[in-house]
């Protein structure tokens, strides 16, 4: 699994570089502390860099110098147009009525690719990273799997008199964004683009007062979560809004959802 994942990431980065650079054969290659650079005579360039730098004394984490996509993003999730028609007659209620300001999205982009003009007024950026979406549920609500279907459940019915501190539903994914940038991110830039996430894990997490925890893994989520993003960047600090029309759960296995996320990146 790990070898296949490394191979997929490597091939994806290579493909993005080729697609965004139609004259690679005429480019000059250089290797520096910032990453791998391909330069052309027409002053366009591609740069591949990671946010992790290793030397003999220390391990440091820095920005994706070549990409307008931030190294770190923090957002807040809002679910819209939630359709519970699958649960007609089951008295399930609005169990996906999450607490928005406690439902967060956290992203770390580990590898970035950028292709842009010499003055950096127009460019295209891509990255590969990891993303965690957290959905804060009601204090007495969790999910269970029943015949392959997502079902709400009462925590007090499952665990008795334990006092609940928080209940969450988490989705962990490999994140691949692609954005077109207009302007200079060192001053001001506007970006539009999209992303797709490959879900690696999903689970509920109930934390009780006293420190004990309970988890249930592998819910019927869609493997691909895709959406569109709009971003404003000021001196490498950005604010973004993304819309994800793809449902969180497989057809016939959970409520249909759409998701909005607003957040910041740096």
Per-residue pLDDT of the chain (266 residues; tens, 9 = 90+): 444 444 444 445 444 444 444 433 344 444 444 444 444 444 455 555 555 444 444 444 444 446 789 999 999 999 999 999 999 988 888 999 999 899 999 999 998 888 877 666 888 999 999 999 999 999 899 999 998 899 999 999 999 888 999 999 999 999 999 999 998 877 889 999 999 999 999 999 999 998 899 999 999 999 999 999 999 999 879 999 999 999 999 999 999 999 999 999 98
CB-CB contact of 74 with 240 (8 Å):
no
What tokens appear for 61 in the block? 């984490």
What's the pLDDT at 30? 44
pTM, to two decimals: 0.76
With tokens 């997502």, the residue in question is 150
Cα-only R_g, the chain: 21
DSSP 142-175: EEEEETTEEEEEEHHHHHTTPPEEEEEEEEEEEE
Could you state, in order of their start, the residue ranges of all structural domains in the chain? Answer: 70-265
- pLDDT confidence of residue 122: 87
Query: What span, in angstroms and rounded, lies between the C-alpha atoms of 16 and 247?
Result: 27
For position 48, what pLDDT does the model report? Answer: 52
Q: Is the CB of residue 110 less than 8 Å from the CB of residue 50?
A: yes
Task: Output the pLDDT for position 72.
Answer: 95
Handedness of CA 93, 150, 247, 71 (dihedral sign): positive
Listed residue (21, 25, 46) closest to 36, CA to CA? 46
The CATH class, in words, for 70-265 is mainly beta
């Amino acid at each position: 699994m790990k070898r296949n994942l490394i191979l997929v990431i490597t091939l994806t980065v290579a493909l993005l570089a080729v697609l965004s650079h139609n004259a690679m054969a005429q480019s000059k290659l250089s290797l520096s502390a910032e990453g791998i650079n391909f330069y052309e005579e027409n002053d366009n360039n591609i740069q591949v860099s990671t946010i992790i730098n290793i030397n003999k004394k220390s391990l440091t984490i820095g920005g994706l110098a070549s990409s307008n996509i931030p190294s770190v993003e923090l957002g807040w999730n809002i679910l819209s147009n939630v359709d519970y028609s699958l649960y007609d007659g089951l008295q399930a209620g609005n169990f996906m009525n999450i607490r928005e300001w406690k439902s967060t999205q956290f992203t770390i982009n580990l590898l970035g690719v950028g292709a842009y003009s010499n003055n950096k007024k127009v460019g295209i950026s891509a990255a590969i990273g990891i993303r965690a979406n957290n959905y804060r549920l009601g204090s007495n609500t969790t999910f269970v799997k029943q015949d392959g279907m997502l079902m709400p459940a009462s925590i007090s019915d499952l665990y008795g008199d334990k006092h609940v501190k928080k209940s969450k539903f988490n989705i962990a994914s490999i994140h691949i964004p692609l954005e077109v940038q207009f302007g200079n991110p060192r001053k001001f830039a506007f970006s539009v683009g999209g992303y797709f996430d490959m879900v690696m894990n999903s689970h509920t997490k109930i934390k009780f007062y006293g420190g004990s925890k309970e988890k249930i893994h592998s819910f019927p989520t869609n493997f691909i979560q895709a959406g569109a993003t709009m971003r404003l960047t000021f001196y490498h600090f950005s604010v973004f809004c993304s819309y994800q029309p793809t449902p969180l759960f497989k057809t016939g296995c959970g409520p249909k959802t759409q998701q909005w996320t607003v957040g910041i990146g740096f």
